[in-house]
Structure 1
């Protein structure tokens, strides 16, 4: 998916409330690749759009503007092929400038900031000048995030919720524009990242002034798993700043161009695929559901909840995955030219079922108690059963038509009385054998070949007996031998028809077992993959907490470091439990039990093939 220009993703409707642009949702619906989402926030007229255009590799795209008015309204989206990772889409989100005096209230700012955090995998905060107390005060939205985002649908106190944010929040990049100072702290040269960490250092004390000073800093340290800083010199003269998108590269400060290149390189290399709670990777279709869910919640007056959003997104995606998988199975099976032998039908069914399951697993997630997968199994079973029934009907029709065609000459002879003459039975028997031989020689009769022949021979029994009795040429002994031969041939054909059914039933039982094994195998792989993702999420949070704890100890905040120990221990236990084989073993036992509903498939199919249509089932003794 490569868009020529950005489109509005979230804007303000006529009622002043946030609303999603359907055109943007349609674009996202077509993005099946994993998405790396980079959002930029900051005060209006600070040059956010220029950085986003640079990430897009374009001079123009997101509106830069050249006046004191904010040009970007709402959230604008640009989807592009990721410049470094094949098979990934880069989604750039340029947000409405915070603090626009024309808006008259800050409610919109708060929700724009919250959405940028919720939707992105990397959040860029753009500011001007230096990272000082004023800059921190402008970032008060970070301090308010806990009031506008919930992690859990139920339970958990505010402190517990706060500690969870680092698991799901994006990486944080602070871009400082028009920076003109020397990078020295207490006489020592420092890096950009050291400058940021110095600015985020906490003060000791418990009075209100210290607490107000520490609050935004503590929130950034607590919420964002990784932090990075980029400092940019002024790109051009003040007179030229309003025309950055039209200035040639040669007119821009070389140092600014190098800083922009480093910024883009970092974002391309270090921004991760967007994930949601549980480490679930997000593609364009899932991102679409996220946007709809978050904006819908905000419009309803509620606070977005990560648990609820993931549950709602899973329901939408799993339903779509179910429809897509069933459609794939149906299309794959639709190319058969009936009738076919059961072996051919079964082999195609196995391939199409495995492919449909694979397709379902790729798109589905958080399928609680395998509810949607069981629906898929039932749907495939129903379609397979219908196809089996159709194949039987076509086979039966084909066989009957063939037998009628082959025996047409016999019927004419019978009507003309040719078999009523002396020696007529010998001619009748010879002609019937010819019909049987030519019938057997004909290919592509399908699964009812033996049963149809058995019914044909049984229907001719009275006719054959009448011809035999009327033949004056045969002695009584010869007629008796002919009768025994007729019975033996009919009995043999009954056995062949019964054997045909038995083999087909065995094949259907094998189909059922293969289906069960395929479901379990693919689900085990899916669960293991989701556990690995959840473990990576916890490991990422643990790494962040350990670094923060070390920083607290180095700065002398021993009590704060000690209070983090419970969080760290909990994360370690979570990582350990997600790796234990006995845990996986118990889980897979539950999976197998949940999918035992497939057993009813064999009962359904077996009953279909054991229903006799005037066919006896000869015993071994009879045979």
Structure 2
């Protein structure tokens, strides 16, 4: 993307809508997405920071007047400067507190989307972090988060809605407070402090009771309890005030050296610490999935329903899993199209196993929340059907090739038969010699495929009447010799029929092996994926636990023993969730899902299917009614 595009627009009727141009861009991004959103009050320089993150000086509109330029949410996707194979998605949000909007309700939804869509949220403000700055966050930020159970619902593992703070900090982004035009010294009580210490001091709770204390603590509690990490950066003014309107056009040499240093340090932190966006359950979000996520949340807002990340994930999973099935099946089909027909069953079996494994790997990488493996079962059914069609095409190609070859090899015999060569005394011996040569040459010919023995049996059967006629007119042979010749011919036919039966049995066994190999590979990859999901769930819990332990220690140090005591229950629950017993229980659940899939898979691919696929019908050959 050379320039940002609008992602979420404010329609004329006041409703939010997703821009199709942005969705089309996201559909082409399969890489994991690191999503950084910047929010802030009107005219605080958010776009300028985002342009730095994009490695540009222009892109997101800065504006040089008092009129807000950014409406809705704008998006800029660029290659991640530190992580190969990742996309950095930058989101510039409509200014909070824009007087032109006339309504603050829109602020709340823009802020909600920024929180839910990003993996790192940057709040941009000016001056200092004081009570005035906190008051500016009171709406939409504090109202949005303090009433989060009304605006956003999450679900516990038992499916019930609940308001456990640790649940939110699992999917909330990291929080960065960027303080612009900071002109004070970083000192407290006469001693220098870091930017982070400055932020933590500003977020310290006030003791006491009453409405005033509650209002004072509300925003601070929101920041401390819901965001898993916090970071602060302060920036001196980049240029004197009269030059701010030309900021985008100024070279780096015209900017305050300290501002340049602070901005580069801010960018480096974001590049290093901002994580890949994930959804509840730990599933990494690609550009494709990010587009579906935006559509889901905006659709929920437009409908007036309660935002629920779990519901959004379920809706996206259905869309993504459907796409994963199609993509995996296309990969399988493309791989199998490289096979030249006719081919031996072993060759097709090997290619089938390889292509099926690749397709399954692709499906596992893209799919998520495939409840009871419904989509995986559909993929396996489609692959089984595709493989069955290919086996049929291979049989037809083999039959056609073998018939054409026998037609060519036996052409000389037909001419001799027409010319009466075999009708003379001793003709039967010549006939047998010629026929044996045809059979020998046929068997030596390569690339005949799976129907070679069956077609040869049909060929010999079609020649039986012909051979009997030649035998009967041969006046050189005695009656006893003719009887022996007929018995020998019957024995040869029985031998060929036995070869066909043995070949059919081998092919049936090979198809059964294919089925079992597919079965085992599906279960293996399924259990591996479920184990990864269990590990992701544990990482989420660890993230929440680290956040709660930090806050617990802070509450104790600040003397809020009652609040610290309440947090201990959450900490105990998180530790229980992360215990070895709990992890083993989840892994056992994964094994149960593996067993469920065995049942589902067997319903799609039964032993009767395999036998049917190997049922080579003895259709009449082209020599059946050939005249002598």
Distance 2:233 2:560 in 1: 27
Q: What residue in structure 1 maps to residue 53 of structure 2? A: 55
1:444-483 alignment runs, 5 A limit: 444-483=447-486
Structure 2 residue runs without a partner (length 5+): 621-628
**Shift of the alpha carbon at 1:16?**
2.0
TM-score for both structures, normalised by structure 1: 0.96
Decide which of 256, 259, 268 is 2:259's aligned counterpart: 256
Asked if residue 514 in structure 1 is aligned to residue 517 in structure 2, the reply is yes
1:411-560 alignment runs, 5 A limit: 411-560=414-563
Q: Is the 8 A contact 1:183 1:195 kept in 2?
A: yes
Asked if residue 374 in structure 1 is aligned to residue 377 in structure 2, the reply is yes
Q: Is the 8 A contact 1:142 1:220 kept in 2?
A: no
Q: Is the 8 A contact 1:535 1:578 kept in 2?
A: no
1:76-126 Cα distance to aligned partner (Å, 9 max, x none): 111111111111111110111100111111111111111000000000000
Q: What residue in structure 2 maps to residue 330 of structure 1? A: 333
Q: What residue in structure 2 maps to residue 407 of structure 1? A: 410
Q: Is the 8 A contact 2:534 2:586 kept in 1?
A: no
Structure 1 residue runs without a partner (length 5+): 616-623
Distance 1:611 1:430 in 2: 30
Return 534-543 or 10-19, whichever deviates more.
10-19
Distance 2:583 2:100 in 1: 57
| Distance change >3 Å, CA 614–CA 65, structure 1 → 2 | closer
Q: Is the 8 A contact 2:556 2:564 kept in 1?
A: yes
Distance 1:590 1:526 in 2: 11
**Shift of the alpha carbon at 1:32?**
0.8
Asked if residue 608 in structure 1 is aligned to residue 607 in structure 2, the reply is no
Q: What residue in structure 1 maps to residue 143 of structure 2? A: 144
Distance 2:131 2:601 in 1: 64
Asked if residue 283 in structure 1 is aligned to residue 313 in structure 2, the reply is no
TM-score for both structures, normalised by structure 2: 0.95
Q: What residue in structure 1 maps to residue 26 of structure 2? A: 28
1:103-142 alignment runs, 5 A limit: 103-140=101-138, 141-142=140-141
**Shift of the alpha carbon at 1:424?**
1.3
Q: Is the 8 A contact 2:40 2:124 kept in 1?
A: yes
Decide which of 211, 231, 234 is 2:234's aligned counterpart: 231
Q: What residue in structure 2 maps to residue 618 of structure 1? A: none
Distance 2:162 2:441 in 1: 83
Decide which of 18, 22, 31 is 2:16's aligned counterpart: 18
Q: What residue in structure 2 maps to residue 620 of structure 1? A: none
Q: Is the 8 A contact 2:576 2:582 kept in 1?
A: no
Asked if residue 9 in structure 1 is aligned to residue 3 in structure 2, the reply is no
SS of the equivalent of 1:569 reads: helix
SS of the equivalent of 1:278 reads: coil
1:294-373 alignment runs, 5 A limit: 294-373=297-376
Q: Is the 8 A contact 1:516 1:596 kept in 2?
A: no
SS of the equivalent of 2:248 reads: coil
SS of the equivalent of 1:244 reads: helix
Distance 1:329 1:135 in 2: 57
Distance 2:511 2:519 in 1: 12
Distance 1:21 1:313 in 2: 18
**Shift of the alpha carbon at 1:417?**
2.6
Say how many residue pairs are matched: 612
Distance 1:405 1:597 in 2: 49
Q: What residue in structure 1 maps to residue 626 of structure 2? A: none
SS of the equivalent of 1:63 reads: coil
**Shift of the alpha carbon at 1:610?**
3.4
SS of the equivalent of 2:7 reads: strand
Q: What residue in structure 2 maps to residue 266 of structure 1? A: 269
**Shift of the alpha carbon at 1:534?**
1.3
1:413-436 Cα distance to aligned partner (Å, 9 max, x none): 223332222111111111111110
**Shift of the alpha carbon at 1:152?**
2.8
**Shift of the alpha carbon at 1:589?**
4.0
Distance 2:460 2:59 in 1: 80
**Shift of the alpha carbon at 1:593?**
3.8
Q: What residue in structure 2 maps to residue 99 of structure 1? A: 97
